[in-house]
A and B are shown apart, each in its own frame.
Chain A
Amino acid sequence: MMSAMLDTTLRLADPDAFYEALIDMHRDLGNDDSQLVNAKLILLLSNQIGDMTVLREAMLIARSGIAAAVAASTASV
């Protein structure tokens, strides 16, 4: 079976309710805890999606447009 493509059209029935729940999930958390919660959420959702092609495509879009700040410092080592 051919792998599905990442779907970037709207699939959420109520995007505003989703966003509110997402922000509520972090209520009263410090930054470290929020990062941990976000990471756990991504792992859970990735496992739910399951399809490695879709996941790689999402990772690519998520990373795009973000400059690699680390490159220069590694070069000087």
Chain B
Amino acid sequence: MTMAIDFQTLTFEYRRSSDQNGDAPLHPVVVIGAGPVGLATAIDLAQQGTPVVLLDDDHTLSSGSRAICFAKRTLEIFDRLGCGEPMVEKGVSWNVGKVFLQNELLYAFDLLPEADHARPAFINLQQYYVEGYLAERARELPLLDIRWRNSVTGITQSDECVSLQIDTPDGPYTLRASYVVAADGARSPVRALMHLDAHGRTFKDRFLIADVRMKADFPTERWFWFDPPFHPNQSVLLHRQPDNVWRIDFQLGWDADPVAEKTPERVIPRVRALLGPDVEFELEWVSVYTFRCQRMDKFRHGRVLFAGDSAHGVSPFGARGANSGVQDADNLGWKLKWVIDGDAPDALLDTYASEREAAADENIRHSTRSTDFITPKSDVSRVFRDAALRLAKDCVFARRIVNSGRLSTASVLHDSPLSTPDRDAFNCVLVPGAAAADAPVFSAGRNGWFLQRTGSSFAGVLFGESSDALIALKDLRPQMKLVLIVPAGSDVKSREGIEVLEDVKGLLAQRFDAHPGTFYLLRPDQHIAMRARSLEPQTVREALARATCALNETQPV
């Protein structure tokens, strides 16, 4: 067990680096910004053996709870990075949301209606805890060099490298890197220094966040009100966080005064109206915000890759900000490693941009639609919204039109150039480009979870009790981990180079629509690269080459 640390007041010490003495070496990767996205990227690289420098212009974690909803896919990624467990332990797990119109419950929804997944649909956890656990994990990695109070003041790049001008308490120095990841937030200084811009829509609405500390008996669910009596004509969102903290989000409208609305004299009566006169509470954190749905036209600019809020921004409805940023990190880490190690051409990094630009478009589309529903932009739009809300109690279809936020799930990388299209028929929700599904497994006398056993390399996953076909892939190790999925109770044991996992409940076979002989190739980020009803080594080699942009034109396709 880790000792309870107050992540809100924790400060990190600036340390002088030997690079500041001049003649700095060429670093493979410098990551800028020690938020969730930068930390995740740096941890992924360092734990896979790539040295990485992580810069942050500050020396504290997130101030205020900020992003609080971390999705199942994000937790699976944090599991792979070695810090999912403390987050889930500390966080408040939830799967159920409820939507109210005025005083009346319209309907409830369950985001994870099937059992047997390692992680819940969501945990709520203050961003400073998430960053704190990531920072603790980062500290365990000798290849990860975090430099606090190092702010970037200049950036230039050539064909060979990127040069960064850094300012520190000891004065400026120059840092050189083969690649730079700019994970420096919505106001990205790197983006500004490179004279780049993000384009999109600003929404004319203001929202008040009131984080309130209190003992309350609301269930651990997401509650969303349209037009509640305690805050008429606007929406309100209620969420539980750890430490008896509750997030309340009040829609204020565009005309609200952002400074006055932050004062306790204004905030306390709003909270009091929701909770009633008898509940004791104290304000933990208050913020008034507006938002834009926007993204950079391109996430890659030469040797600089933009990830997280610097690259794209969404409305908070749907929890698609931090969660999509961590998926950026997940997508980018292995690609940087393969390119830096010389195992894949630089073009692999173009697919980081194309895959995550498409994901950002999807996130922006969902979040824009939610915002347009919550804040109608015209009279007729409001009439339709109210009509959908009034039908929702009795008519099931209308519940699917009501939109209080479409919550973050793993992006399916449709049309990815790295995916090998199906040749065989599969009948399940998984498709090439989708993140693999989880299910319970049993191995070496222990119960576990499939997604926690695939590692951070490619994984060749064969179903059935014969590993003969997998042996033909032996020379692809260590770039590929070989996994055999056997039925419950099988006496086939793991052996040199092949990990055997028992599909204890038969759910892996079901979720992957697998028969004996079915083969899946998973990317290091656990997205499906290819699958087939039988394992043909040549097809797998081609799929691996395609998934790493190494398929040259002379090879048969």
Residues of A within 8 A of B (CB): 8-12, 15-16, 18-20, 22-23, 26, 29, 31, 34, 38, 61, 65
| Docked CA distance A9–B394 (Å) | 10
Which residues of chain B are near A12, meaning CB under 8 Å? 397, 400
Q: Which of A8, A18, A19 contacts B394 (CB 8 A)?
A: A8
User: Does A38 lie within 8 Å of B391, measured CB to CB?
Assistant: no
Interface of A is mostly: helix
The segment from B233-241, B332-340, B376-384, B413-421 that touches chain A is B376-384
| Docked CA distance A15–B401 (Å) | 6
| Docked CA distance A23–B379 (Å) | 11
The segment from B273-281, B366-374, B453-461, B528-536 that touches chain A is B366-374
B108 near A: Cβ within 8 Å? no
User: Does A31 lie within 8 Å of B397, measured CB to CB?
Assistant: no
Nearest-neighbour CB distance to chain A for B409, whole angstroms, equals: 14
Which residues of chain B are near A8, meaning CB under 8 Å? 394-398
Interface of B is mostly: helix
User: Does B397 lie within 8 Å of A22, measured CB to CB?
Assistant: no
Residues of B within 8 A of A (CB): 366, 369, 372-373, 378-381, 384, 388, 390-391, 394-398, 400-401, 403, 406
| Docked CA distance A77–B257 (Å) | 49
User: Does A31 lie within 8 Å of B379, measured CB to CB?
Assistant: yes
User: Does B401 lie within 8 Å of A19, measured CB to CB?
Assistant: yes
| Docked CA distance A47–B400 (Å) | 25
Which residues of chain A are near B379, meaning CB under 8 Å? 31, 34
Which residues of chain A are near B397, meaning CB under 8 Å? 8-12, 15
| Docked CA distance A22–B384 (Å) | 9
Q: Which of B372, B384, B394, B396 contacts A61 (CB 8 A)?
A: B394
User: Does B396 lie within 8 Å of A9, measured CB to CB?
Assistant: yes
| Docked CA distance A73–B306 (Å) | 65
User: Does A26 lie within 8 Å of B381, measured CB to CB?
Assistant: yes
Q: A16-B366, A19-B373, A61-B394 are in contact. List 4 more A-B contacts (CB 8 A).
A: A8-B394, A9-B397, A10-B396, A20-B372
User: Does B372 lie within 8 Å of A23, measured CB to CB?
Assistant: yes
8 cross-chain pairs, A with B, having the tightest CB-CB distances, nearest first: A8-B395, A34-B380, A15-B400, A10-B397, A26-B380, A10-B400, A9-B396, A15-B401
Q: Which of A9, A11, A23 contacts B384 (CB 8 A)?
A: A23
The residue on B at minimum CB distance from A38 is B380
Nearest-neighbour CB distance to chain B for A16, whole angstroms, equals: 5
| Docked CA distance A18–B379 (Å) | 19
Q: Which of B366, B381, B394, B400 contacts A23 (CB 8 A)?
A: B381
Nearest-neighbour CB distance to chain B for A20, whole angstroms, equals: 6
- CB-CB under 8 A for A29 and B401, given A8-B395, A23-B372, A61-B394: no
28 contacts between A and B (CB under 8 A): A8-B394, A8-B395, A8-B396, A8-B397, A10-B400, A11-B397, A15-B397, A15-B401, A16-B403, A18-B401, A19-B369, A19-B388, A19-B403, A20-B369, A20-B372, A22-B384, A23-B380, A23-B384, A26-B378, A26-B380, A31-B379, A34-B378, A34-B379, A38-B380, A61-B391, A61-B394, A61-B395, A65-B390
